[in-house]
A and B are shown apart, each in its own frame.
Chain A
Amino acid sequence: MKLSKGEMMTRRKWLASALMGGGLLLSYGALAVQGLLYVLPEQVKSKTRKLFAGQLSDFHEGKVKALFDLQGNQILVKRQADDLKAYSTVCPHLGCRVQWVESDKQFFCPCHRGVFREDGVAIGGPPADAGQRLAEVPLEVDRAAGVVYIEVKDIKRRS
C-alpha cells in the first residue's frame, strides 16, 4: 500500500505522540509506585528470643502468674496439673490488653467486653461471636533442670 506524504506524516506523528504519552505514563506510574512504597515502611522480620521464665516450682497449680516480655507487655502463664500454658494478653478481637480477673477465673478485655475462659477460649463478647481465643506464647519446660522458658519477640537492636 502506498501512502501519500501527508498520511505518512500523520502516522509518524501519531506514533511519536503515542510513544511520548506512553513514556510519560510509565515514568509517572513508576514514580507513583515508588512513592507508595516510600510511605509503606519495609517490613522487618521480628526475631524472637527465649526468656527464662522462672523455676518450675514458682508456678503453682491452678494459679495464673504474670510475666513480662521485653516490651513490658504482660504474658500470663497458667499451670494446670503438670501442664503449663502461656497466653498473650493481646485481645484477638481488636488488639486491646486483656486482664486476668482472679475472682472470676477469667480473662477480661475492657474494650468491647470480651471474656475468655482459663484456657484462653473466648466465651463472651465479640471474640466469642467470632470463635476466637487468646494466642498461646511458645513455652518450654526443662524438667530435668526444673526451669521454664518462654519465647518472646526480641526488641529492636542495632546490629
Chain B
Amino acid sequence: MAHADSAVPKKNRAARFAVLFPFDWDSVQHISAEPVPYHLKKWWFCLGGTPMYLFVVQVVTGIALTFYYVPSPDHAYASVAAITQHVRFGWFIRSLHKWSSNLMIVAVFLHMLRVYFTGAYRHPRQLNWLFGFGLLGTTLAFGFTGYSLVYEQLSYWGATVATNLMEAIPLVGPYVAYFMRGGPEVGEQTLTRFFILHIGVLPTVIVVLLALHIVMVRLHGVAEFTFPGDNITEENRFFRFWPEHATTEILIGVLLMYILTILSLIFPAHLGSQANPTVTPEHIKPEWYFYFNFRLLKLTSLNISVVLTLCIGLIALFWPFVETWLQKKFRLPDKASVIIGVVAFMGFLILTVWESFAN
C-alpha cells in the first residue's frame, strides 16, 4: 500500500477520523473554557442565554410550522386553522412557537434591564450594547411579522396600522412602508413579504447579530461584579464554564421547556376570525410588547407620537455614548443613569399596563 495514511494503525479509529476531518479539537476546548466570574452564580446574570435558548426553540418549531403553512392571502388563514385543528400536535407546536416568542421578548427585556442597571454597557462595551439593541429590534420585528402571518383580523389590521405608521417616519418612511407592503397599500404582496422577512431575512440578521454579540462578550470577557455579602477570594473569583456554568444553563433550559409546555397546555394559541379588509373589528389591539406605542398613538397626533418614539428609541440605542456626553457636559454622576433608567422603564410599564386595562 503506497497510501500516505497507511502509517496510521487501522484500529485507531479516532486517529483515522482525525485524518479525514483535520480539526484541532484542543482549540475548541480552549475556546469554550472561558473563565466565568463569581457573580454568574446568581441566576439573574444568566438571562442572556435565555433568549438564545428560546431562539433555538423558535427555529425548530418555526421550521415545523412551515411544513403546513401556506403564505398566500387566500390560504394562509385556512392553513393555520388546519395546523391548529387537524395536524397531529399542530396546535401544540403553534402554541410553543407563540409562547416561546413571548418569553423571548420578556427575556430580552430582562437581560437589557440587568445590563443597564449594572452599568455593564459602559466603556469599553458600548459596541455590544448596540448589537444587543439590534437584537431587541430584530426580535420585535420577528414578533410583528409573525403574527401578521396568521392572517386573522388582528394580523391584517396590525399590518395596516404598522405600515402606515412607518410611512410617517421622516425621510425614509415612505420607502420602507412601500417595501414592506410591496405596494401603496396592504395587499397580495404584503403577506409574502412578511413571510420572507420572518423566515429568511430576520433569521439571517439575528444569527449574525448573535454571533457578534457573543464574540464581543468573549473578547471583552464578562464584566465582573461584586455584591455585599460575596466572599470572593483569588481561588473562587472565577469558576469554569464547563461543567459548572453549563449546568446552570442546561437547568435554565429544562425549566424553560417546562414553562413553555405548561403555558401551551393551559393557554393554547387560539385563532380569531379571518382577515377582512373591508371591516375593522370593534376591539383591536396589538401584542402586549407594542402596547406602549399603541397607547402613545392614542394620546397624541400621529407625527408627535412617531417623532417621540423615534427620539426615545435613538437615545436608548446610543445610550452608552449619550451618557458619556451628558457626563462630560453636565457632570452627571454615574448614579443618574439609574434614575433615568427607572423613569424610562416606569414610563414603559405604565403605558403598557394602562393599555392592557383600557378597552
Contact = CB atoms under 8 A, between A and B. Distances in A.
Interface size for chain B: under 10, 10 to 19, 20 to 34, or 35 or more residues? Answer: 20 to 34
Given A94-B161, A94-B302, A40 B175 contact: yes
Given A110-B281, A111-B161, A130 B301 contact: yes
| Secondary structure type dominating chain B contacts | helix
A112 interface: yes
30 contacts: A40-B175, A40-B178, A40-B179, A41-B183, A41-B189, A43-B183, A43-B184, A68-B278, A71-B277, A72-B277, A72-B278, A73-B278, A94-B302, A95-B164, A95-B185, A96-B160, A96-B284, A97-B279, A98-B280, A99-B280, A111-B161, A111-B284, A112-B294, A112-B298, A113-B298, A125-B298, A126-B297, A126-B300, A126-B302, A126-B305
Scoring A43, A112, A113 by chain B CB atoms within 10 A of each residue's CB, the highest score goes to: A112
Interface string B23-57: 00000000000000000000000000000000000
A152 B347 CA distance: 44
B115 to A, nearest CB: 33
Contacts of B185: 95
B302 A41 contact: no
A25 B284 CA distance: 48
B225 to A, nearest CB: 43
Given A96-B280, A112-B294, 10 more contacts: A41-B182, A41-B183, A71-B278, A94-B161, A94-B165, A96-B160, A97-B278, A110-B281, A113-B298, A126-B301
A59 B99 CA distance: 51
Interface of B: 157, 160-161, 164-165, 175, 178-179, 182-185, 189, 277-284, 294, 297-305
Nearest to A112: B298
Nearest to B181: A41
Given A43-B184, A110-B280, A94 B298 contact: no
Please give me the 6 A-B residue pairs with the lowest Cβ-Cβ distance, nearest first: A129-B301, A130-B301, A97-B280, A96-B280, A94-B164, A94-B161
A39 interface: yes
Interface of A: 39-41, 43, 68, 71-74, 93-99, 109-113, 125-126, 129-130
Nearest to B157: A96
A96 B178 contact: no
A93 B175 CA distance: 19
A153 to B, nearest CB: 10
Contact of B160 (A94, A98, A113): A94
Scoring B179, B279, B283, B304 by chain A CB atoms within 10 A of each residue's CB, the highest score goes to: B279
A41 to B, nearest CB: 5
Contacts of A130: 301-303
A71 B301 CA distance: 29
A95 B187 CA distance: 13
A134 to B, nearest CB: 14
A73 B282 CA distance: 17
A41 B178 CA distance: 8
A125 B279 CA distance: 19
Contacts of A41: 182-183, 189
A63 to B, nearest CB: 21
A74 B301 contact: no
A94 B157 CA distance: 10
A46 to B, nearest CB: 8
A95 B280 CA distance: 10
A39 B197 CA distance: 12
Contacts of A129: 300-301, 304
Contact of B282 (A72, A110, A126): A110
Scoring B189, B283, B294, B301 by chain A CB atoms within 10 A of each residue's CB, the highest score goes to: B301
Nearest to A128: B301
A126 B182 contact: no
Nearest to B303: A130
Contacts of B305: 126
A88 to B, nearest CB: 12
A71 to B, nearest CB: 7
A136 to B, nearest CB: 19
Contacts of B182: 41
Contacts of B281: 110
B161 A95 contact: yes
Nearest to A42: B183
Contact of B161 (A39, A74, A96): A96
B160 A95 contact: yes
Contacts of A111: 157, 161, 280, 284
A73 B277 contact: yes
Contacts of A40: 175, 178-179
Contacts of B179: 39-40
A95 B162 CA distance: 10
